[in-house]
Structures are given as C-alpha cells and as structure tokens.
Amino acid sequence: MAVSRRSVLLGLGTWSAVGAHALWRRHAASPGLVRVVSWNLRNFSGATTPTSRHAPGHDLARLADHFAAFDADVFCLQEVLNPAALGPLLPGYTLEASATGGAHGQRLVIARRANLRADPPFTDPCTALNPGLRPTLVQSLLLGGQRWSIVVVHLKATPSGHPIRQAQRRPLVQMLEGLPRPRLVVGDFNTTGARGDSPASEITSVCDEFAAVGLHRVRPSLPCTAYWEGSRFDRFSEPSVLDHVFAERAAPTAPAVQVAPGLQCSRSGCAPITSTPAYPDLDLERVSDHCPLIIDVLGAAAVS
C-alpha cells in the first residue's frame, strides 16, 4: 500500500534532530522511497595514514559502517583517488567511475545496488575545460519505477576559482537541458563565492542558471554541508555550504525530494567545531571534511 506524501515528509522532517545515523535506515513500510547519498570523500585513496595535509587517510571501518547505515540505493561520490579501494566498503554495490579526474586524479564514482537496472555511465567533458579540471559523470538508472538521469559534478574550488566555475556551469547547463527527465544533479559545487563576495550570491546565480532548464535547488534541512579550517589553522572548523542537490522543478507529477546533511553537520547543528588531537571529531578528521547529503526521493507513483 502506498504511503501518503505527508507521512513521508513528516518523517523526513525529523532528520535534523537525529544524531545517530543508524536511525536514518529506511522503514520497510515506505515503498517507492529511493535514497541517494552524495558525498565528497576528501581524496579517498584507501590509505589509512596521511599522505598530505589534504589527504589525512581514512578510518575504513568507520566509513564502511556509515555506508551500511545510510542504506542508500545509490551513492554519488567525489574526490575518489582509488575507486577500487571502495569496493570492499560497499559490498552488494556496483561501482563505476569517471574515465578521468582533475589535476590530482580526483574521480567521480556512482555506486548502485547490484540489482538496479542501469545504462552504462558516461564521462561528459563539459566541465573539464582544461586538463586540471574534473569532468561530469552521468548515468541513467531505474529507481522506484522511473528512469532517472543521475549527474555527479565537482567544480573548481576556492574564491579565486569563481570565474572558472562560472565557465564550467555554462556547458554543464547546456548538457543538462538535453538529458531525459527526471534528472537529479548532485555534488560539490564549491560555492565559496568570488573574492569579496558572499557564497549566497554564487548560490543564487547557480539556482538561476539551473532554473532556466527546469531544475531547482532542494534546500537541505541544515544550513551547512562541509567544514573548513578557516584562516587560522587552529583546529577550529567553520561550517560552509559547498554541496548541492538539484531536482526537477516542483509540479504535480514531480517527485518529492528531501535533503539532510549527516554526521558532523547533523551532530553540531552546523555550529563551528573544535577538533583537537585529544578530543577529535572522528568523522571530520578520519572520514571527510564534507558531510554526506542524504537525499530521499518519493516518486509520484508512490504518492497518494
């Protein structure tokens, strides 16, 4: 029996108060509910020890536990240096990576449940304007009885990269316009804002560009998606909004989509985090500076 849209949305609305990610598991009484998780894994290589300041190594057991607890149908992952190292952490999933990465080999990965029907993914060079920039990964997946176009991006970072991000978005929007609908676009958009301008201004620009091709930003339940050290490098990490989810513009036949940042974003309520060697935030230090975006989609066919 199909669940009502109101019941599902009320349940999803409790996410911001959930601290234990095990409680994010879907209930068997929610047919038609599809879960996608978008997550930047901070230079994941499979190493457990640091290789640089930006690649501190990963707690593989902790990461595997998170993957299992999220209970996602599809994971859309960014900053993966070694896609093969993800395989043991995602049993029961089929992993496919972008053909190329950026200057540091940061590839995109779509990991789907092995029983999901899918077309072969393709690596679109629309955002790879030069060899140092990352391409876009696109795959058509059958989810909840609908064929979805799943798009994963990772745009140029930092305020100084703002003009490059603007240039990347123009061909990206053109590519998105030609994809079959419904479409779900996720990933690290690096919306830091330009130098001397605010992140909010850049987010507004992205929303306007995507609205022109029928996509709207799904606002997350919390006002942050990642943490960064700030300018002091004093173990005091500040919240930011870098990762986004875009879906079809709301309509009677459009799926209902809810987005909740998990892990340190959820635990802290997007307040600043102090993580020290004596009292580390284990997800921030040993998993990723980005929080997973947990995206639940209730298809129109399941709405009563």
Residue with tokens 């909004």: 241
Average pLDDT in the 129-152 region? 96
With a CB cutoff of 8 Å and minimum separation 6, the contacts of 231 are none
pLDDT in tens, 273-297: 999 889 999 999 999 999 999 999 9
Does the pLDDT value for residue 151 go beyond 90? yes
260 φ/ψ sector (left φ>0, alpha ψ -120 to 50, else beta) = beta
State how far Cα 96 lies from the chain centre. 16
Question: Model's pTM, two decimal places?
Answer: 0.89
Q: Which of 70-79, 149-158, 275-284 has the lowest mean pLDDT?
A: 275-284
Six-digit token string for 249:
């513009």
State residue 235's pLDDT score: 74
With a CB cutoff of 8 Å and minimum separation 6, the contacts of 61 are none
**What per-residue string of b and e applies to 224-247 under the rule 16 or more CB within 10 Å gives b?**
bbbbeeeeeeebebbbbbbbbbbb
pLDDT in tens, 84-106: 999 999 999 999 999 999 988 99
Six-digit token string for 168:
């990347």
Average pLDDT in the 20-49 region? 75
**Would you say 256 and 216 are in contact if contact means Cβ atoms under 8 Å apart?**
no
Cα torsion 43, 48, 49, 54 to 10°: value is 20
**Would you say 145 and 130 are in contact if contact means Cβ atoms under 8 Å apart?**
no
Burial class, 45, CB count within 10 angstroms (exposed 0-12 / middle 13-18 / buried 19+): middle
**What Cα–Cα distance (Å) separates residue 251 from each residue in 12, 182, 216, 297, 300?**
20, 12, 11, 14, 10
**Would you say 209 and 176 are in contact if contact means Cβ atoms under 8 Å apart?**
no
pLDDT band with cut points at 50, 70 and 90 for residue 198: very high
Average pLDDT in the 66-74 region? 98
- Residue 243: in which H helix or E strand, if any? strand 243-248
Instruction: Kindly give the residue spans of alpha helices, DSSP state H, lying in the chain.
Output: 5-12, 60-70, 162-177, 199-211, 264-268, 282-286
**Would you say 149 and 125 are in contact if contact means Cβ atoms under 8 Å apart?**
no
